[in-house]
Structures are given as structure tokens and as C-alpha cells.
Structure 1
Amino acid sequence: MQSLSRPRPPMIALATLLAVMASLLFPGPAHASPAVQYTNPVAAQRADPHIFRHTDGYYYFTATAPEYDRIVLRRATTIQGLSSAAETVIWRKHSSGEMGAHIWAPEIHFINGKWYVYFAAGRADDVWRIRMYVLESSAANPLSGPWTERGRITTPWDTFSLDATTFVTNGVRYLLWAQQEPGISTNSNLYIARMGANPWTITGTTTRLTVPTLAWETRGYKVAEGPAVLERNGRRFLTYSASATDANYCLGMLTSSASSDPLQASSWTKGANPVFATSAATGQYGPGHNSFTVSEDGQSDILVYHDRNYRDISGDPLNDPNRRTRVQKVYWRADGTPDFGIPVPDGATPVRLMSYDRPGYALRHWDYRVRPEANVSPLADSQFRLVTGLSGSGTVSLESTNFPGYFLRHRNHEAWVERNDGSTLFRADASFTRRTGLAGSGTVSLESVNFPGYYLRHRADLAWVEADDGTSAFRSSASFLLE
């Protein structure tokens, strides 16, 4: 396991600067989004997941089934509800010819009053002749159908193509997809074109957006696929998947101004490093082929993706059925860019404890100590899983996200993140009673189990467990917003 120790930056001037920046960016305690918590995985043996939130109050979920022979659909009023929702087969592969094999990566969209499913398929007699196809339904409930085949999406080349998705920006609808272009020695690149007279036709210029050339894009295979767009803060963020579909699979990102022409390749800038990748610490391997949705309250963007919970695969990864659908919250940096963090451990998704009286500051671990800090990097240093308390039911413990098995505990009244040694003392030191925040409704406070009346709070740029002295300063510093 890597050390928790990191180089320590100069703190006095930096802390002051960050406090000023935070006060400008986050004018009050209400800056923190409500805590969004789910339990992963959402669905076993479902890869390339796509979750679409519709205006009818339902989330619609489709994904690749490991048999590669059908398109499935679920719906529920919550994201977590998709885990137990009944699954309907809305379409099956043909017994011969086109759309007869490798039914991959379906996406469901609602366009101009109708439902559309984009998917990739091979031929029954040539399974690797993968092309993109579209289904259409006018039914109010797409699980009940019926569905009409609208045929193949025609692109400039009759070559391997897949992972079609669609988005609207500045009032114009576009298609994004992955394709193998003649003359370029890659498995797939990313392309964009404007949609034509209907949702299965493109028109005008086709633009190549990126070719996989970087080391993390070319492990096993030279791949750029699975595009997805998130537009926020005056910019477009286009995530895509790279490399082979084993533990090397990861997400890269292109960025453009929201006011720019997306058909101009020069509008987009590729990040030099992956934005989401395997985490051996959390036991998550090959995260990728993502989509985006929003939380039930509409306040948080949610990253939807698949991965495996083991590294070693026997044979071709495409024949391994155990990619699972997972979700976690997208956080936003002060500069307006998304921070996906790391694929979090299985089980309950983590939260951040945001300071009530120092807006923009989160509790994080650094050299094992816990302290408040703005703009935490890496993000996972400030993420904790709220789990059943080590000292028993009715209590909670805070487990480090990037160091599972390490918990926030107090020692000599100082707050640390340390490995659970199994002792009675550690379990008590790392257990808290969750209370309504001492600062009032909307916040939480954490009272020590073995020192009743003592609360987790921050003071002098560190975190402590100290006795409530009844002052407003204490109540504020011992209250947190869960984000």
C-alpha cells in the first residue's frame, strides 16, 4: 500500500489565498450539494451502461448483456431502484444477416416525442462486421414497445463502427461515435457530425475529433470509443474510453468551449492523462464506457460506468461476463472542470464532510492527520464511506475511500486516519453518533462514542475531537454539510 505521507506545501499564505477564493466561489454554507449516496454495483453482468432520466419521473437503464444477443431495458423512479427493477427484453438479434451478432452498447434517448435506441451489431455470418443501428418507439413507456428498426447509420466509410450517442448543444443535435478509418492504423477513433432529417441520419461534414496515440490509449489495442458529453460551466466535457477492455481500460477527456463549433477539431483539447482509471486500492479494474445522468434531486451529476472487481482475466476480456454497472457522484473543481476521482469501493458511495463555517473546505487526510482544506487533490483524500460503526449499531464510522480499512479516529483528541487494528479501543475511537448539526438543520455533527459530549471539529487547520463548550464558534466548527 502506498504511504499516506505526501510533501507538505507552504500553508500560511496558501491557506489564506484559498480561503479568499473559496469565499468568492462559495458565498455561504449552502454551497455544498446534498449528499448523494448509492450502493454499488447497481447491476451485475451489465456492461456499457446508459441511464437516461426522463420527464415522466423515471430513470431508464440499458446496457450490454454478456450473451451479446439482445437489448434489455429497466426503469425505476430512483437510480438505486434500477438494481431491483424488472428487466424487459425489447429486441433480439436477427437469426441471419445484419444485426445477427455482437449486440453491443445500447443507449436510449428521447427525441422529438419518440424513443430511440442506438446500438452496435455484427452480422450473423461475419460477427466482427460491426456497424451502428437505431430502433424507434412511439410508446409512452418504452418497455412496452413496440419497436421499429430504422436501420443502419450511414457514415463516410463502411468500416468497423460503434458506440453512437447523441447530444444537443446551442440548439443543434449531433451524433458522436467511434469508427475505424481507412488509412489510420488504430482500432477506432472518435467522430462527430450533425444530425440530419431524422435521428438515424447524419448530414454535412464529419469531423475526426481524436486518434488514440498516447500510451494510456494504446494498451492492448489502439482505442478511442464510448463517447459521452457533459456540458457545464461554459464548457463541454467529452469523456471517452481507451485501450483494451481489461484492467487497462480507462477514461480520457476532450474539452471545448460551450460556445465553440463542435465540428471544428481545433475547438477541442485532449487531456494528457486519463481522468478515471483502475484503482487497485479500491479493488476496481478497467472502469470505462461511461454515460452521465443526474441525481434524483437534480443537484448532482452522476457518472455511470462499468468495471470488474478483479484484475486477472482468463482468455479474451470480451468473453468475460462480469463487468458491472456502477455509479458515483461527479465533483467540480474551483476552475469549473469535473473531478471524477477514483472508482470508489463496492458498497455505499462516499461523502465529503464540508466545513459549515469555512465554505469550500473539506476534511481530508494528509500524513495520517485530518484537516480542512479547499480544492482537495486528490479528491479521494476527502471522501469517506459512512459505514455502520465499528463499535456497533446505532453508531457510524468514516472509512477512507482510497485506503479501505483505514478509519477516521481520535487519538489524544487529535483526528487521524489509521488502519483498524481490531482492538476495542480503536473501534471506540473510530465510532461516532450522528447528530443533527450543532449549527442547526441541514448540517450534521459527529459525537464521540467513548467521550460523550465531545465532537469532531476543526481548529487551527487541523481536526480534533473536543468537548462542546457551547459557543457559536464551536458549534460552527463542529458542523458539517455532507456532499
Structure 2
Amino acid sequence: MADILKPLIEQRADPHIYRHSDGYYYFTASVPQYDRIELRRADSIAGLAGAPAVDVWHKPDTGPYSELVWAPELHFNQGAWYVYFAAAPSREIKDQLFQHRMYAIRNTNANPMEGEWEFMGQVDTGIDTFCLDATTFTHDGVLYYLWAQKDVAIEGNSNLYLAPMATPWQLAGPPVMLSKPEFDWEIRGFWVNEGPSVLKRNGKIFISYSASATDENYAMGLLWADDTADLLDPAAWTKSPEPVFATCYEHGIYGPGHNSFTTAEDGDGVLLVYHARTYTEIVGDPLWNPDRHTFVKPLRWDAQGMPVFGRSSTL
């Protein structure tokens, strides 16, 4: 009998775990109230479950970033801590609720659980449309910004874009589109490519992402490029035509996605961090259903050096 996974942390969606050079694991995620950014840290993955949560930023009551704080990610870039997140304007500013833009806060303290967080403003992509789910990574000395955004000329809700950064909160060049919803499994309920995460291993750069509506149809896809390629050339990227991680109906793990990767405690292995639901019958608006839970499992590799995600319900 396979080991059936249990949630590491309940009611935390869009989970992001980062292991820093200080040896600690840092965790952040969307909270069910969508009203703040919280961090926790521990010296082990298991320890994150019981670690105290520290609220480091609260949304204002009104204004352009005062609703629906989504998908924070904690990164250590160029000597300081940054949290990237998306937030929507107050309803009196916009007629529609879902008008998210992306923002950053910064902390120069060695310990991000302490010190002051400075609001750095909007991360402007040059395109004034719905956008969210930003992550960053450094490759060959260049800091890159990777996110999801709507293009009004392309059918669907969001595509994946990449751009170099001039600073950890400003882009250095125009974005290029790496992927858009096109396969059947990417367009169930919503036409979505979102929640990208980056993993460098085996001479390649991998980008996982999530697609379709955030119910049992939610699933993960994969892009990859050689690590010597021009990452800003869309032709350098290969896209899997099939999902790499999906609902496990047998064991009742539904809609796995919006993942991150972190380093295993042995310092070499890779852990896959994701959220999923444990039931499908959602009462009311799915947006306000709190039961997307954080799961963690090992990532494995095949003989060709490609990641093997396995089943969403088992180790």
C-alpha cells in the first residue's frame, strides 16, 4: 500500500517554501481571508506545520491594492528579502473585482521574520491588464521575473511571461510570452496558465505551471529549456502536451497545483510543494472556500534527467 499523503498545513493555498543559506525553511501562502501576508520559518519541513505565523504586511482598507491578496512568494534577491504578491483594487475604484496587479515589499534585515517591510510599489510589466503569480530566479547573473498575465488579443484568462529585471522590483526589458492555454486540459472551466515555478537541474531549466479552473480540473504542466539557451527566446522552450501532475480520484486529492520547489533536508533532493483539495463538492463561491491545503512530496527523476512528479496523493 502506497503512503497516502496528508496535508502539511491546512487551509493554505498557493504555497511557497524557500530554504535559505541560514538553514531555515521559510513558508508563505495565500491565507483564506486574502487580507495579509504571513511568514513562518522552521529548521525542518515538518516543523513548518507548527511554526508560529508572523503577519508582515496587511492590506489597506481602500485603494489599488486593498482586496484579494493572492499568492505571495518570498525571495532573497541581491542582498534583501522580497515578497512578491498580487492584489486587487477596492470595488469603488474598479467595477470588476478581479483586476489584480503585482506588487513587492522589501526587508533588509537578515531575518525576514523581524525588521521593517517597505512597500516597493507595483511591479509594472508595461501591460495594464490582470496579472498575478510572480516568481523570480537568477541565471547566468541575470535576475528574471516570471508571471501570469492576460492579453486582450489572446483568448483566455492568463498566459506566462518572462522578463529580465533591472532591480528586484523593476523590469529591465519588455516581456516575452512563453506559454498560453491551448491544450484541452488547460482550458477546463477557465483558459489559464498561471502559478509558474522554476527548477534548475540536469542542464535544463524547468518551469512548472498550473492550468484550468481551480477545482478538480486544476492540473500542472511543464516547460523546459537548455540552461545554455537564450531564455528570452520563446522558441528555446519545449512544452509538454500532457499534464505532469493532476487529480488523483482514487485517493481523493483534487486539483493539485500552484506549486513551488524547495531543497530537501539532505541538501540535494528536491521537494514538490503544492496545494490541493480533499473534496469536490464546494458550497458557495469556490473563491471563498478555504480548504485548499499545502502538501509536500519528493520529486523524482527519470533516466533522461526529466522530473517525475508522480501521483498527487502518494509519496
Taking structure 2 as the reference length, the TM-score comes to 0.96
User: Percent identical across equivalent pairs?
Assistant: 50
Contact 1:38 1:80 in 2 (8 A): no
Paired position in structure 1 for 2:235: 266
- Is the aligned partner of 1:130 residue 2:96? no
Paired position in structure 2 for 1:216: 185
Q: Counterpart amino acid of 2:9?
A: A
**Greater helix share, 1 or 2?**
1
Residue 124 of structure 1 deviates from its aligned partner by 1.7
Paired position in structure 2 for 1:364: none
Q: Counterpart amino acid of 2:27?
A: F
> Which runs of structure 2 are paired with 1:198-277 in the superposition (5 Å)?
198-277=167-246
- Out of 94, 99, 115, which is 1:145 matched to? 115
Structure 1, residues 226-272: CA drift from partner, whole Å, max 9, x if none? 00111111111110000000010010011111110110000001101
Residue 38 of structure 1 deviates from its aligned partner by 11
Contact 2:25 2:41 in 1 (8 A): yes
Residue 155 of structure 1 deviates from its aligned partner by 0.9
Q: 2:152 & 2:252 partners in 1: Cα distance?
A: 38
Q: 2:183 & 2:83 partners in 1: Cα distance?
A: 32
Structure 1, residues 292-311: CA drift from partner, whole Å, max 9, x if none? 00111112100000000112
How many residues are aligned here? 309
- Is the aligned partner of 1:115 residue 2:85? no
- Is the aligned partner of 1:295 residue 2:264? yes
Please identify the structure whose Cα radius of gyration is greater: 1
Paired position in structure 2 for 1:322: 291
Q: 2:251 & 2:86 partners in 1: Cα distance?
A: 32
Contact 1:50 1:108 in 2 (8 A): yes
- Is the aligned partner of 1:162 residue 2:132? yes
Contact 1:217 1:242 in 2 (8 A): yes
Q: 2:204 & 2:4 partners in 1: Cα distance?
A: 27
How has the CA–CA distance of structure 1 residues 167 and 316 changed in structure 2, closer, same or farther, with 3 Å as cutoff? same
Paired position in structure 2 for 1:284: 253
Structure 1, residues 297-337: CA drift from partner, whole Å, max 9, x if none? 11210000000011222233212110000100000000110
Q: Counterpart amino acid of 1:238?
A: I
- Out of 70, 78, 94, which is 2:44 matched to? 78
Contact 2:125 2:174 in 1 (8 A): no
Q: 1:220 & 1:145 partners in 2: Cα distance?
A: 42
Residue 344 of structure 1 deviates from its aligned partner by 2.2
Larger relative contact order (C-alpha < 8 A, sep ≥ 6)?
Answer: 2
- Is the aligned partner of 1:179 residue 2:153? no
- Is the aligned partner of 1:307 residue 2:273? no
Unmatched 5+ residue regions in structure 2? none
Query: What SS does the corresponding residue of 1:256 show, helix, strand or coil?
Result: strand
Contact 2:126 2:174 in 1 (8 A): no
Unmatched 5+ residue regions in structure 1? 1-36, 351-483
Q: Runs of 4+ in structure 1 displaced over 4 angstroms?
A: none
Paired position in structure 2 for 1:474: none
Residue 39 of structure 1 deviates from its aligned partner by 6.5
Q: 2:313 & 2:139 partners in 1: Cα distance?
A: 31
- Out of 66, 76, 87, which is 1:100 matched to? 66
